[in-house]
Amino acid sequence: MTEAEHGTGGEMSAQRAAGLNRMSQVYGWDMNDGPGDFFGYTVDHLFADIWNRPGLSDRDRRLLLIGLCVGSGQEDVLDIQLPAALGNDELTHEQLREIVIFFAHYAGWPRAARMNNQVEAIIARDNKKD
């Protein structure tokens, strides 16, 4: 661990703690510290700084991220973002289904079809929890 990640006494820096806390809020599960510079930049900059900026709600950021993932073919990231959106009460089952229909017209039917399969699987898992 670098000194930026931890204080001089080995304790976690305020930036790292804030980033891990924000990641936990965004994804809905406890986030532990991890090794490496990439993880450090993700936590210290993306989550401690960018996700804490004013001007957009978490729901706004999530919708933007979902759109970006669908539009760029990053379906694997949706397996993280969609359950987090449900778990944080940012989106409902009905809204996820409506997003699929909307994306079909802008991102293309094949991408929307893949997203639809993911959405339905996530909704089925969510319904089993109830």
- For residues 101 and 45, state if they share a domain: no
- CA-CA distance, 103 to 114, in Å (whole number)? 11
- Does a structural domain hold residue 1? no
| d(C-alpha 104, C-alpha 79), whole Å | 18
What average pLDDT does this structure show over 76-105?
97
Picking from 9-23, 34-48, 72-86, which range would have the lowest pLDDT averaged per residue? 9-23
- pLDDT, tens only, 23-47: 999 999 898 999 999 999 999 999 9
d(CA 118, CA 111): 11
- Is the same domain home to 19 and 40? yes
The three-point CA angle 113-116-119 to 5° equals 155
pLDDT value of position 11: 83
Amino acid present at 7: G
* Residues 96, 67 within the same domain: yes
User: Does 4 score more than 60 pLDDT?
Assistant: no
Average of per-residue pLDDT values in the chain: 92
State which residues form the domain around 114: 58-129
Instruction: Say whether pLDDT at 112 is over 70.
Output: yes
